Amino acid sequence: MVLKRAITTALLTVLFTLALAQQSKLLLVGASSMQAVYPGGLGVSYAPAKGFARALGLAYWQKESRLILGLGPKRISYAVYAAPKTLSDLKKYVLSKTPPALVIDGRTLIPVRYTSKSLGASYVGGVDSLKVLLAPARVVAVRLYVLEGRDVVEITLNRDINVYPAGGGRWWLINAKASEGMRPTAGYYISGVRFEPGMYGTLLSIDGAESWPVMVAYAPHKVRFYIGETHAGPPKRSLIVIDPGHGGTDSGAIYGNIKEKDLVLKIALQTAHALRAAGYKVALTRTSDDDPGEEARASLAEKADVFLSLHIAGTNWAGPGPAVYTSTSYSSQMPLLVQRARKMYASGGYESFLTNYVKSAADVNSFAKTMIESFAKIGVTARRGENSIYLLERSPGAALLVELGSLENNTDRMRLTDSAQQSAFAQALASAVRIYMGSRQ
């Protein structure tokens, strides 16, 4: 259940939803203006999640029942609910300490005050309008040094920021200010860094970085750019991480007494078994009926050379059969951000900080293609898809989310609940991993 769409049919819901959205106020976020609404008239303002994130330059991930906003190493995570049908249920949600995101009229809205506070942004409520301001970040120090054969550009700021690749060895430091100018250095790969103001904040140019792999890593109030190739250490055994979705109280898609969480666990365990038998090192994000939580899953994803998240759809709208998803930012839009982040782990010995990088598109696309071919060999036609998926982006390896089919589709459901077919799925998944790993040697 990855692309679950709230389908509301009851007339009551429609009427209540109208009541929900009625009351609204002008909301200024950074330099953008939007409309804040007060669900149920409870005095808690909500704003469109995407617009809000864009206005402040936040990273944005949405996957089924979870929405995550990112600012540097910081993550704000929301449960996502369809707006409840009764005022008392709605009250429980919006007045809670960690209010969820609400889907109203097909749009995902986030609580403004809670979000602003979590970001360290100022929130000013007036009679006619609301204002959310994240003061521009200031660059307070720049350090250039060499670590394990790579150049490191370390930028310290007075708050967390996001960076975005601008191409040609340049990055936007979103909503940040720096004193203009050039800082020369004699690095292995680079000859200096330059700062200049621009429309998204400050444009950082790292001279010499354009033809080398660059990894961007965030730490609190810091961004580090690692440029160049690490000195090859002893080869480490590759790690395959398999992530059976959901678990515990989170059943995922349900059809009668058939639950997504149970089916994906069965298939994941068999896939792991097949890969271990073939000599691979395999870790699972869960091996029983419990939900380890998004961050525990992500911390394993961060160590993976190959990451496979397994799900089953609950709705039929995307079509029958499996779908093989990569995360959107894997596509060619950010080719300069890191091609070989995997090496960071291969050489080992780094402090553990949150990292953010983009996998080489060619690599993950070839894995997706191998996966689809592998399904074809067991007589199953799979589709290719893209979505912005947090867990996949946390993995430096070839990361896929595979939806094995839909519980709403009769053929899919019969296949997925048949133990011989479950084994066939596991074999297909394991075989795709083996072929992909083989092609990398």
Give strand pairing partners of 406: 313
Of the pair 245, 405, the CB lying nearest Zn ion is at 245
Tell me whether residue 245 or residue 397 sits nearer to Zn ion (CB atom).
245
CB of 2 to Zn ion, least distance (A): 5
Quick one: which of 14, 13, 50 has its CA closest to 29? 50
- Nearest distance in Å: CB 429, Zn ion: 16
Q: Which residue lies nearer to Zn ion by CB, 145 or 317?
A: 317
For the bound state, the minimum distance from the C-beta of residue 289 to Zn ion, rounded and expressed in Å, comes to 15
Token pair in block for residue 216: 């961007």
Collapsing DSSP to helix, strand or coil, 400 comes out as strand
Minimum distance between the CB of residue 251 and Zn ion, rounded to whole angstroms? 9
| DSSP states along 96-153 | SSSPPEEEETTEEEEEHHHHHHHHT-EEEE-SSEEEEE-PPEEEEEEEEEEETTEEEE
How far from each other are the two terminal CA atoms of the chain, in whole angstroms?
34
Name which of 34, 77, 53 is nearest 174 in CA terms. 53
Nearest to 310 by CA among 292, 277, 284: 284
Q: How far apart are CA 247 and CA 238, in angstroms?
A: 26
CB of 96 to Zn ion, least distance (A): 24
Greatest CA separation found in the chain? 69
Nearer of residues 318 and 346 to Zn ion, judged by Cβ: 318
**How many whole angstroms separate alpha carbon 73 and alpha carbon 90?**
31
Dist. CA 388–CA 326, nearest whole Å: 8
Minimum Å gap between C-beta 366 and Zn ion is: 25
Rounded least distance, CB 260 to Zn ion, Å:
5
Q: How far apart are CA 45 and CA 47, in angstroms?
A: 7
State in angstroms the smallest separation of the CB of 309 from Zn ion: 9
Look at residue 298 and give its three-state secondary structure: helix
DSSP bridge partners of 33: 28
Residue number of the CB atom closest to Zn ion:
311
Q: Please, which residue, 156 or 287, has the CB nearer to Zn ion?
A: 287
CA dihedral 401→404→405→407, nearest 10 degrees, is -100
Q: Compare residues 100 and 252 and give the one whose CB is closer to Zn ion.
A: 252
d(CA 396, CA 287): 23
- Quick check: helix, strand or coil at residue 41? helix
State the residues that interact with Zn ion by CB under 5 A.
1, 245, 252, 311
Cβ distance to Zn ion smaller for residue 224 or 246: 246
Q: How far is the CB of 58 from Zn ion (least distance, A)?
A: 24
- Looking at the Cβ atoms of 40 and 245, the one nearer to Zn ion is 245
Report residue 221 as tokens: 């109030």
Q: Which is nearer to Zn ion, 226 or 307 (CB)?
A: 307
